[in-house]
Structure 1
Amino acid sequence: MAWEYRGILPALQLPFDQNLDIDEAEMRRFAEWLVSHKGIGGLVTNGHTGEVFALTAKQRAQATRLAAEAAKGKVPVVSGICCEGISEAVEHAVMAREAGASALLLMPPHGWLRFGMTQPDNVVDYFTAVGKGSGLDIIVHIYPSWTRASYSFETLAALAKLPWVKSMKVGTRDMNKYARDLRVIKEADPSVTVLTCHDEYLLPTMVQGVDGALVGFASFIPQMIIDLYAAVQAGDLKTAAALQERINPLKDVVYGGGEPTGNAHARMKMAMYLAGILKSPTVQPPTKLPVGAELQAIKDAVRNAGMMQREAA
């Protein structure tokens, strides 16, 4: 099936049991709950929100299989690929395909964050190898402009022209470059969809003509984000601004003044536990759950949003 990667695509939190194993029944239930929201354009496993760094290759495939079983073909399931070398990335991509993934969210090798892309063709070669090796659609994960893994305009255009690339998750976090990134992608291939991944400032990045959002925050408040995007699409900025005001207190306790991080994902997981969305807030070490004043702020925000279902232990 040919999928369009549009609308709201949540990057799923991954439920664990007390032994730090994936809670399969809870993952299926959670994924089914997300799919039940009209406006969800796909499910994304093995993103940063899903604690991909802490997972083995087998666990990554397991997470994708569970999401695919829950989705039942209603929406595409996208599996994040977070690897260092081409051989490993192709191996993980094939495992994702066998687990039921329709597409891959291909992150830059993290060696590029440290050393940069040493030759201009490195990026295109990497994406080409994974596309050929898996045969799956690819969503390009664009990292912040301040990292050494940030793609140039020329590289974005080259990636947009690859036959496997169907969408780009744009996380530039520099509004001037972000606007030009969107324009460059669409000029290279208008059929490639662009998805904001700016969880911490959704409205400003939605109004620039994107095709949706791929955000971990939609694991927590899918309906609010669906409604926000619908208001933007309808040109109703007054309603959109009001929705963003409702989102802000929850956004502030999860992301604070920064962008998504492991600690932010732990704060969000705790908020989802308090709201009754997940039955456990367990995270993989070395990440730790919030305590003290940080935990109290999350409780207050969830309660003030009318979402409180249980108290933290």
Structure 2
Amino acid sequence: MSDINFHGIIPAIAVPFNADYSINEPELRRFSKWLGGQEGVTALMTNGHTGEVFSLTPRERAEVTRITADATRGICPVISSVVCEGINDAVEQAGWAKEAGAAGLDIMPPHHWLRFGFKPEHCLDYFNAIGKASGLPLVVHIYPAWTRGSYSSELLAELARLPYVKAFKMGEREMNKYARDIREIRAADPTKVLMTCHDEYLLSSMVQGIDGALVGFASLIPGLINDLLKAVKAGDLHEAMRVQALINPLKDAVYGAGEPTGEAHGRMKAAMALAGILSDGTVRPPTHAPSATELAAIKAALAQAGILQKAAA
């Protein structure tokens, strides 16, 4: 299996588009190379929600992974999300991702589970099929506790015992279940890596004893999130609170009072353009660009954090 260090910052990357909504390959190469080289970044993840994955065709998802993996060769490995409705489709797309250069796979729940629910054996069969076919390390992408695609603590413990599963992207967004899931996974296999994906409340999720962060927000503020994780791991709560205070205005401007959404990803891309990280913030329909009021709030938050027009070299 490929060697991926999950004990760090793994940005779920945004994808730059041209004005006609095609993938901007030169910009994606430049951005991926810059982001992969940031302090504390140990891998990049393509085809997450931040990457507007549901606006991409399966072949485009493989192309995004190919471009990113090629641009970051010798810098950091790339993980690709698999977003499918069935086992055969998942195995096929996992194979495309591996051929494109993915060193690992993030496995999202099939979205018909959100409508109809699922049995634990459905989930275990899904992960076993992808793991056996790809031979790549797998990340379990945990959905919010309120969804029908949420995994029970007992099922997460079973997943932790699978040899293909190496890490968990912890996105429960309900702190009692989050703490319970951490305990159950640690008890099942303490070698499995736990990563917060709670972009909108990083500090409170990090202090639960996690190992890293796999968040879309790190496309915009990798340095601040790395500083926060370092402070938490060092037990320096005062420093962690100082860094979180810098993050909060940006968090409010991008995510508001809720969870990450398509429109939030559009606001984050706008922030990346204002910070000079991307050349522009074009999003694919049906996601809309932020309003003038939202842009003003984003610009003010970037200025307060000291990253307005800090271009990515």
- Give me the whole-angstrom Cα distance separating, in 1, the residues matched to 2:161 and 2:189: 6
What amino acid does structure 1 have at the position aligned with 2:15?
Answer: L
**AA paired with 2:182?**
L
Match of 1:288 in 2: 288
Report the CA distance between 1:129 and its aligned residue. Answer: 0.7
**Aligned-residue identity in percent:** 58
Match of 1:189 in 2: 189
Structure-1 residue corresponding to 2:18: 17
Distance 2:303 2:240 in 1: 22
Q: What are the residue-to-residue correspondences of 1:118-133 with 2, within 5 Å?
A: 119-133=119-133
Which residue in 1 is equivalent to 2:78?
77
Offset at 1:131?
0.8
* Partner in structure 2 of residue 272 of structure 1: 272
Q: State how 1:23-102 maps to structure 2 within 5 Å.
A: 23-102=24-103
What residue is the counterpart of 1:255 in the other structure?
A: 255
Quote the Cα distance in structure 2 between the aligned partners of 1:122 and 1:210: 27
Q: Distance in 2 between matches of 1:304 and 1:204?
A: 22
Secondary structure of 1:49's counterpart equals helix
Q: What is aligned with 1:210?
A: 210
Distance 1:155 1:112 in 2: 15
What amino acid does structure 2 have at the position aligned with 1:22? I
Answer whether contact 2:33 2:75 (CA < 8 A) is retained: no
Question: What number of residue pairs does the alignment pair up?
Answer: 309
- Structure 2 distance, partners of 1:33, 1:75, is 11
For residues 132-147 of structure 1, the aligned pairs below 5 Å read 132-147=132-147
SS at match of 2:288: coil
Q: Which consecutive segments of 4 or more residues in structure 1 shift more than 6 A? A: none
Matched, 1:302 2:286: no
Query: What displacement does 1:87 show?
Result: 0.8
Distance across 2 between alignment mates of 1:18 and 1:57: 21
1:162 equivalent in alignment to 2:165: no
> Which residue number corresponds to residue 108 of structure 1?
109
TM-score, structure 2 normalization: 0.97
Q: Deviations over 1:134-177 (max 9, x none)?
A: 11110000001110011011110111111110000000111111
> What whole-Å deviation, never above 9, does each CA across 1:183-207 have from its counterpart, x for those lacking one?
1111111111000000000000101
Larger mean CA deviation between 262-271 and 67-76 belongs to 67-76
Listed as ranges, the gaps of 5+ residues in structure 1 are: none
Which deviates more, 69-78 or 226-235?
69-78
Aligned match of 1:4? 5
2:50 is paired with a residue whose SS is coil
- Aligned residue for 1:121, secondary structure, equals helix
Task: Report if the CA contact (8 A) 2:283-2:289 is conserved.
Answer: yes
User: TM-score, normalized by length of structure 1?
Assistant: 0.97
Measure, in 2, the Cα distance between the counterparts of 1:207 and 1:41. 20
Q: Distance in 2 between matches of 1:134 and 1:120?
A: 21
Cα distance in 1 for partners of 2:309, 2:283 equals 20
Q: Does 1:173 align with 2:182?
A: no
CA displacement, residues 83-139 of structure 1 (integer Å, 9 cap, x when unaligned): 11111111110000000001000000010111111x330000011111111111100
SS of alignment partner, residue 167 of structure 1: strand
Shift of 1:72: 1.0
Q: Give 1:308 shift.
A: 2.3
Moved more, 190-199 or 32-41: 32-41
Residues 107 and 139 of structure 2 are in contact (CA less than 8 Å); yes or no, is this contact kept in structure 1? yes
Residue 75 of structure 1: CA displacement? Answer: 2.1
Q: In 2, Cα distance between the equivalents of 1:186 and 1:75?
A: 27
Whichever residue aligns with residue 251 of structure 1, its letter is: K
Distance 1:121 1:209 in 2: 29
**Secondary structure of the structure 2 residue equivalent to 1:214:** strand
